[in-house]
Every structure is written in structure tokens, then in C-alpha cells.
Amino acid sequence: MNNTKLFFVMGMGLFCGYAWGAASDNPGDLNGDLRVNVADFAILAENWLRDYTPPTELPPLEVVSAGITQKAVQVLADVLGLDPTKITIENGVASYLDKTRFQWVPTNPVIDPLIINRLRRGTDMDYKDTTLLFRSFDVAAINAMRPIPDDDALKLTSAALRKARLLPELAKPSFHHNVFSLVNRAENATVAEATLDTQVNYDWAVNNIPVVGPGAKLSVTFDTQGNVTQMLYSARTLRSGEGLIPIAPPLAAVRKYVDPKALDSNPIDARLVYYAPPLAQGNAQVLLPYYDVGGTNWGPQGHISDQLRRFVPATVDPHWVPELTLDISVSGNQVTATVTVHGGQAPYSYRWVSSSVDPDMITVNNTTATYQAMPRNTLDETISVVVTDTNGTEMTASETVQVAESTSGYPPAGGISFGTERAVSDMCAANQSEFINAFLSAGVKAEFNYSGQNVWEYDFKYNSEKQELVDSADLVFYLGHGNSGGFTFETQKGDDYLYYPDAHLTWGNKDMEWLCLLSCNVLAGSPAQTWGWTFDGLHLLCGFSTYAYDNPGFGKTFAQSMLANPALPIRAAWFKAYDVSQPSYASARVMGPVGPGGCYSGYDDYFWGKGPVSPDIAGADVNVLWWITHN
């Protein structure tokens, strides 16, 4: 196994406890250091891998039916008291979100003219017709909020699902809550905290193996008054299928579908599941066994980060899983790439992504893509293709080649703009491209779109070589690995890891209002004294307080929800993308600053031109941070 550490867990999950005292009193202390910590976890996981053998065969899950009918939606609307015209139905997926009631917290207007004039003068307005909101949180009213009991929410939800004949047989309910926190930055003391709502979520399992993914989602959320603020139905009716699928050992599957070089020194963990792709992705007849794969990255500078999690097939049988061969030719800066696909279930769909140009700059003819690369001060260009078969099995092939040095790069967009930085060459290509396409289709210009070696730590902090690039765009979407201390890069432009002090009072002092991180654990714990010091005009920092997943649909849902007519606030769009794509055991988080007179920023923000926006708050004026944890 070389230096690879592979942790394998079967079933609904892993539960770790922490204890202190003598080793004889702590059965979890496996190395005798009188503590129960990550070192013991590694030993335990290695023991499980040695002592436990996963099944050699599993049946596929046959799809009996998929999605929801208009008639069922009407029944749900009647029972839950919703306006059916406000429930969106697309590809059999029904979704509803009340942007006024969802995560509502009591607020008051800020009326002091001195504070308003001070904040107005320091605010950069990219969209001149936008209304600026000057409001403060009502601390006393927030502390008095109480959610409805879980049992009451379950009764309302199950009654509606039963009447609509949608109550799932293979799923059990669990309960989740949006929690609002207001924390003093200097003292890290809680000023206000409230549970805003009660969500009933359904979790599928077959023979104790979880069924997870964007195509196994059912949730209903109630505010403190018992009103439904959110609903999502994206599910299939399933039964055990005929035949058996050969199951590869977790190490063999991970080595086949994940870059083997990444395993030589990084601990990896894997969990056996059935994966349910989005209903919009293919026309799945069966669901296949997968491994839910994550782990730890040990960077060359000693930085440790958590890998974005992904689902990889648990079988290497080409009958079930497409195999890709990517051929690339280069002439100067012109790149031509061709993919050959064998196996899986035809027909296939194709998506091409470059590390240096927008998707609309690539000429695509299904299996072939041609474009002019524009890498930034490097010869490295990465081309990725995402192939999806009819069962929704999505495979990615990436290759990095050398091209001629480019001096063109992205021209300044000017006005309203966005940027993406995908710091993982072998992941997130679909989420990045769908996010980009949504913005370009809405007429929003790209300030930059970079991947792999073109993504630099320099871009996120003030430095002598280059002003921070991210502050040249209004909204920036980062995709990569991370933890509560920072997030990672594949190149040494700066170094391979942005540690939160590197961005001290850096974000927002030029153009950026919203920074969004599809990355594990960056906002874990209490981020007031870490990321709270990065705000200097930034309105929102969106991320995760647990592991995050590179699941299809996150980037698309996030972008489209912000840009639709009518649009959602950016905060709500982030959580909607979470609900659509992430498993219920992950937690998303959004945070923003509070400044003079208690005036907050970010909570009610829409993207430019879609609704009101709050003022910029200078870093020196930030004394309190707010955040919402969706868990």
C-alpha cells in the first residue's frame, strides 16, 4: 500500500468521540498518548480496512419512476398552504423558496444620517440604480426566536407527502436547522443566536447502504410561525434490480478514478453508497454502487487541508462505467482535444473546460474541442472533458500540456463582472463551466476564469508582485481544497496555501463584494477571529463548515438562482445550491460584517441589478460578524 492510508466505512457514517485521561480509561486511545485524536482515528481506520472486506457484488437499484407530477405538486401546495404557481418544476424536480420568509431575522432601519452618509461615501456602486439598504439586527427579538418542534414539522410534512402519495418507503426523516449567530470579533463573544427554522429531510438507504446524491433529495422547511419557506423534491422510486455488479476494493476503485499520485502521501477515506445523479442528468434506469471519497492533503509547505469530497464508481466493470481516452495536439497556442469513450451506457453528453479561456471560446463538436489557450505567464494549459452516460455516470478526463507563452490574458471587463478560480485540475470542471455559462448567458462579463496552474495564491492577497486579482471582480467563485485555516493551490505563485492572516483586511477594498468558496471546512468553528479580519468592504463570505462535495448542479443552481427574474438574494442562492446538490450531513455557512450603528452588510444582498444591496463596511469599522449555519 506504499504510504497510502485508506479509511473505509460502510453504513450511514462514522462517529468519533473525544476523551481525556489515562489510556486505560480511554478505549479510543490506540497509541498510548493519553488523548483520543486524529492519530487514533488513523489507526482505527487502518484496522477497519484490514479487518473488513466490502461485499464482492451488489445489485443495481432499478428506477421504477423519477420525479414529480404536476398533480402531486398541486396536492402538496394545497396541504402546505403554498401558491402552486411559485413552485418550479423542471425535469421532474419541484422546488420552492420564499425569499422573504426564508431565514428571516428581525431587523430595524438605521436612520442616523451621519452613519448613513459615512457608509454611503465609502460604498462602491457598480450598478447605479441599486437601492442601498441601511439596517441593523434586532438583538433582543433574535434571542427570543424559537423554532417549531421537530415532531410538529414532521407531522405536517408526512401528512402532505402521504396525501400526494409521495411518502418514500426507503427513506427516514432527519431534522436540520438554520442557526443565526451574531458574534463580537475582538472578544469572540456571542451577541445573539437563534434557530430560525425546522427542516424535515429524508435520507434513503437500501440494505443499510445510503442512497445519496442530487437525485435523492426531499426536504421541507418551516419558519418559527409554521410557514413553509423551502421545499425540494428530487427523487426516484427504487427497487432492487436484477443481476449483480462486481464491487472493487476501495483502494482499487480510488486508484482507478482518482489521480494515483495524490494517494502516495495523503490519507484517503471511502464510504460505500448508492449514488443518485441529478434527474436532469441522463435518463437513469439504474443506480450504481459508488464510494464517497475524501481525505487529507499534506502540502509541500506543511499545510494540511481537507479534500473536496467526490463520488467515484465502486466497480471497474466497463459495462457500467465509461472509460475515457483523451488525445491532445498543440500548435503554438492552438489546442485540439479529442475524447474516445468506451463502456458505460450510451448515449453520452460532453462538456469541455479549459484552464485559461471561457467555455464559449471553445469550438466543440461533441467528442472534439478546439481553442486558443491564454495561460498567464506559464506554459501550462489543462483541458478537461466531462462525459456523462445515460445512467448519469459522470467521468472526467484531464490533461496538462505545454503551449506557447501567452501575453494576452483576460482583458479588463469593466463594470459588473465575475471571476472563477478552480484550484483543482482533476475536479470541479462541470461546476465551474456551468457557473460560467450561467453568468455569460445573463450578459455578465468575465474578469477572469482560471484553473489548475493558472490559479495563484497571489490572487487572493495583497503582494508586491501583483495587486490581488480577486478584488477586480464583483463576485468570485473559488473551487478547491481547504480547512478552517485556509485553502489550497496547485502552484507556488505565492505558495500552495492561503492562510487567513495572508488576507488580513484585504478583501473588498477595491471591487469585490462577494467571495464564495466551494471548499471543505473553511468556515468551520467560530470564524469571527479568523476570516472576520479579512473583511474590508467585502459583503459576504460563502462557504462550508463541514466537508463539501463536488456534486453536479451546485455551480449552476447557485448562479442561476442569483441571476433569475425574479432572483434570490445571494445568501439564499448559496443555500439553495447546497440543498440541491449536497448531502444532508454536510453544513454550509454564509457570513458578513456589522459596522457603525449596528448596520450590517450582505444579509439581504442581491447581485447587481437584481435587487437591493447593502453598503461597504471598511475593515476598521467592523466590530461584529454575523453568520448562518445551514445544518
- Kindly report, residue by residue over 20-37, the tens digit of the pLDDT: 223 334 445 555 555 444
Q: Is residue 199 part of a domain?
A: yes
Q: How confident is the model at residue 49 (pLDDT cuts 50, 70, 90)?
A: very low
Q: Averaged over 487-516, what is the pLDDT? A: 92
Separation of alpha carbons 34 and 40, rounded Å:
10
Contact between 282 and 388 under an 8 Å Cβ cutoff? The reply is: yes
Q: Residue 429's pLDDT band (boundaries 50, 70, 90)?
A: very high
3 state SS of 355: coil
Sign of CA dihedral 264, 268, 272, 276: negative
Same domain, 14 and 69: no
pLDDT tens digit string along 276-316? 999 988 789 999 999 999 988 877 677 789 999 999 999 99
Tell me if 468 is assigned to some domain.
no
Q: Are residues 47 and 93 in the same domain?
A: no
pLDDT in the model for residue 12 = 35
pLDDT of residue 5: 44
Residue recorded with cell 468506451: 342
User: Are residues 46 and 83 located together in one domain of the fold?
Assistant: no
Structure confidence at residue 407 (pLDDT)? 60
Average pLDDT on 56-64 reads 95
Position 577, amino acid = A
In this predicted structure, the answer to whether residue 395 has a pLDDT above a threshold of 90 is: yes
Tens digits of residue pLDDT in 189-246: 999 999 999 999 999 999 889 999 999 999 999 999 999 999 999 999 999 999 999 9
pLDDT at 616: 96
48 with 71, same domain: the answer is no
Residues 200 and 234 occupy one common structural domain: yes
Helix (H) or strand (E) holding 433: helix 429-441
End residue of a domain, out of 225, 240, 255? 240
Rounded-to-integer distance, Cα 343 and Cα 167, Å: 36
Confidence band for 467, pLDDT divided at 50, 70 and 90: low
Range of the domain at 171: 63-105+145-240
95 and 180, same domain (yes or no): yes
pLDDT band for position 380 (50/70/90)? confident
Contact in structure between 471 and 508 (CB atoms under 8 Å): yes
Q: Is residue 228 a part of any domain in this protein? A: yes
Instruction: Work out the pLDDT band at 464, boundaries 50, 70, 90.
Output: low
| pLDDT greater than 50 at residue 40 | no
CB count within 10 Å of CB 419 equals 26
Q: Do residues 29 and 149 both lie within one domain?
A: no
pLDDT for 42 equals: 47
Looking at the fold, whether 9 and 95 belong to one and the same domain comes out as: no
Among the candidates 208, 240, 272, a domain finishes at 240
Is residue 89 domain-shared with residue 207, that is, in the same domain?
Answer: yes
Q: How many domains does the chain have?
A: 2
Residue-wise pLDDT for 78-93, tens only, equals 999 999 999 999 999 9
Q: Give the burial string for 300-327 (b: 16+ CB within 10 Å, else e).
A: eeebbbbbbbbbbbbbbeeebbbebebe
CB atoms within 10 A of CB 260: 12
- End residue of a domain, out of 223, 240, 257: 240
212, part of any domain: yes
Q: Is the dihedral of CA 508, 514, 515, 520 positive or negative?
A: positive
Residue 54: which pLDDT band, with cuts at 50, 70 and 90? confident
* Inside any domain, residue 394: no
Integer CA distances (angstroms), 88 to 94, 105, 284, in order: 6, 25, 22
The mean pLDDT of the chain is: 88
In a domain, 36, yes or no: yes
Please answer whether residues 485 and 543 qualify as being in contact, where contact means their C-beta atoms are separated by less than 8 angstroms: no
Task: With cut-offs at 50, 70 and 90, classify the pLDDT of residue 404.
Answer: confident
Instruction: Tell me, yes or no, whether 187 and 72 share the same domain.
Output: yes
pTM: 0.90
Question: 390: pLDDT confidence band, cut at 50, 70 and 90?
Answer: very high
Q: Is residue 610 part of a domain?
A: no
Q: What share of the chain is helix, strand, coil (3-state, %, to 5)?
A: 20, 35, 45
Same domain, 74 and 10: no
Interval 90-112 mean pLDDT: 97
Q: Is the pLDDT of residue 599 over 70?
A: yes
Asked if 447 contacts 419 with a C-beta cutoff of 8 angstroms, the reply is: yes
Q: Using alpha carbons only, how large is the chain's radius of gyration in Å? A: 24
User: Cell match 401546495: residue?
Assistant: 77
Same domain (yes/no): 92, 216: yes
pLDDT at 50: 44
Residue 425 forms part of a structural domain: no
